[in-house]
């Protein structure tokens, strides 16, 4: 995938991410996705959270993921939020249930939107959109 200079990327980049959540974004940048996992009860936390929804422990480890899951739901966007996204239309947004048991949402890569089905297996790939920011996307397995 093509990387562009920071200044010329016109889609939305993450803003206001607290330092406590940066390990997630750094893991994407390293192409080694990691998600908080509760040190006390093992529950995964995504999006990152201060406290575990199961046991309220504030302690967690950034745990690696299989990167595999199945589509829980999806949509195909045909009206973009801004001009920068309009050139991609139509594009898909997928919510997948990861093999570890929680959901993650992302766009897709190298996947025909007409082939999308709930229940379809997907895996994570990385998209280095700028020198500082990497996103993940879902593609078919």
Measure the CA–CA gap between 141 and 131, rounded to whole angstroms.
27
* From candidates 2, 7, 79, 101, binder to other proteins by CB under 8 A: 79
Q: Which of residues 44-83 bind Zn ion (CB under 5 A)?
A: 52, 54-55, 57
Closest CA to 96 of 134, 133, 137: 137
Q: Which residue has the tokens 């249930």?
A: 97
Provide the β-strand partners of residue 52.
none
* From candidates 23, 25, 43, 140, binder to Zn ion by CB under 5 A: 43
Measure the CA–CA gap between 64 and 52, rounded to whole angstroms.
17
3-state class of 6 per DSSP? helix
Q: Which of residues 12-51 bind other proteins (CB under 8 A)?
A: 12-17, 46-47
8 Cβ neighbours under 8 A, 6+ residues apart: none
* From candidates 28, 33, 38, 94, binder to Zn ion by CB under 5 A: 38
Residue 40 Cβ, how far from other proteins at the closest point, in Å?
19
Site string for other proteins, 46-75 (x = CB under 8 A): xx-----x------------------xxxx
Measure the CA–CA gap between 97 and 39, rounded to whole angstroms.
22
Q: Which of residues 91-110 bind other proteins (CB under 8 A)?
A: 91, 93, 95, 102-107
- Of other proteins, Zn ion, none, which one does residue 38 interact with (CB within 5 to 8 Å by kind)? Zn ion
Measure CA 1 to chain center.
Answer: 16
Site residues for other proteins per CB under 8 A = 11-17, 46-47, 53, 72-82, 85, 88, 91, 93, 95, 102-107, 118, 135
């Amino acid at each position: 995938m093509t990387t562009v200079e920071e200044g010329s990327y016109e889609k939305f980049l993450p803003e206001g991410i607290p330092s406590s959540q940066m390990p997630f974004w750094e893991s994407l940048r390293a192409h080694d996705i990691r998600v908080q996992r509760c040190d006390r009860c093992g529950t995964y936390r995504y999006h990152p959270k201060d406290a575990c929804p199961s046991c309220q422990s504030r302690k967690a480890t950034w745990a690696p993921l299989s990167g595999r899951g199945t589509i829980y739901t999806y949509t195909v966007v045909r009206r973009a939020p801004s001009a920068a996204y309009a050139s991609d239309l139509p594009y898909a947004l997928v919510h997948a249930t990861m093999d570890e048991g929680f959901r993650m949402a992302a766009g897709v890569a190298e996947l025909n939107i007409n082939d999308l089905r709930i229940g379809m297996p997907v895996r994570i790939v990385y998209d280095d959109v700028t020198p500082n920011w990497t996103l993940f996307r879902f593609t078919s397995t």
